[in-house]
Amino acid sequence: MAFEQKGDDWSANAKSYNALPQDDESPITRPSMVLVKTLNHALPIAEATAILDVGCGPGTTIGMLIRQLGSQIPPNARLIASDFSAGMIEQLEERKKTATDPLWNRIEPLVSNAEDLAGIYDSSISHVMGSLVYNLIPDSQKALEAAYRVLKPGGVACMCTWVTLEWMDLMKLAAENTKGNTAPASLFPEPWLSVEGIKKKFEEAGFNDSTFETQEAFMAIDDPAPYFNGFVRAKNPAANLYIGGYTEEELDRFEEEWIRLAFERHPKSPKKLKGIFVVSTGRK
């Protein structure tokens, strides 16, 4: 079962999420980099008629697309960024105001739930992308079917989804040691924890010519403050599974315990916590 979440939960965390570290190995940036490269390999961006970023957040992945392949985006191709969180769309709008690349002005923000993609016509999109979102959706199968619905025949969907997260494993231990709290062994439903499970979901949604590849990202924690403040203290919905309802004193103890566990596991610099994700593609 996916953890409960609402658009307002992510809206409250949107500004802090946008400020998380974004080096090329980071949990925010690395999946987007891999996704854009993989999507372009599956169906060249130069052939795009409309690109849809599902669960766009503050614009990390569509921004990566512009950064890496902006010169290949056809002048008439639509760029649509959707998220069910109005706060995330507001962060995207703020980035549009300060972006220097004129391609940002072409982005069409849309508040829309991935489970139905309301506002997107059938068979209207050549490329669908979604980074770190599909395995968090309560009805992920419905969301995959919505992505399939909006794709043109021959169009491609590409997404990255976490399989294991070392930093979340340590959060579970820290919560147990701090307050005796228990939390799910995994944030993600069982089918998303293996290539075999993801492949089955793609097949059930109707996708063909699918590909699946395992990749890694790293959270640099020599200075853990940027991640801890932006993720845990900012009450990211995933973090709230472990620290929801904590007092400030309890949160301080939790932070000390999480850092102790992380540094005990990785005593030498550079200290990095690993996340493993799968990048998947499917064609309509």
Instruction: Decide: residue 245, CB within 10 A, 0-12 exposed, 13-18 middle, 19+ buried.
Output: exposed
18 belongs to a structural domain: yes
Measured at the CA of 61, the angle between CA 91 and CA 110, to 5 degrees, comes to 50
Asked whether residue 135 is assigned to any structural domain, the reply reads yes
Is residue 259 domain-resident? no
In this predicted structure, what is the pLDDT of residue 187?
75
Q: How many domains, in total, are found in the chain?
A: 1
Q: What is the DSSP string of 50-68?
A: EEEEET-TTTHHHHHHHHH
Both tokens of 246, joined, read 């904590």
264 inside domain: no
At residue 231 the predicted structure's pLDDT band, cuts being 50, 70 and 90, is confident
* Domain assignment present for 268: no
233: in domain: no
User: Does 244 map to a domain?
Assistant: no
C-alpha 31/C-alpha 161 separation (Å) is: 8
Mean pLDDT, rounded, for 274-280? 98
Cα angle 125, 71, 280; round to 5:
45
**74: preceding bond cis by omega (within 30 degrees):** no
CA 180 to chain centre: 29
For the segment 39-95, what is each residue's pLDDT rounded down to a tens digit?
999 999 999 999 999 999 999 999 999 999 999 999 999 999 999 989 889 999 999
The CATH number assigned to the domain holding 48 equals: 3.40.50.150
Taking the C-alpha atoms of residue 90 and residue 49, their distance in angstroms, rounded to an integer, is 25
Does 223 fall in a domain? Answer: no
Domain that holds residue 130: 7-164+187-217+277-283
Q: How far is CA 269 from CA 20, 30, 148, 263, in A?
A: 20, 20, 44, 9
- Over residues 127-158, the pLDDT tens digits come to 999 999 999 999 999 999 999 999 999 999 99
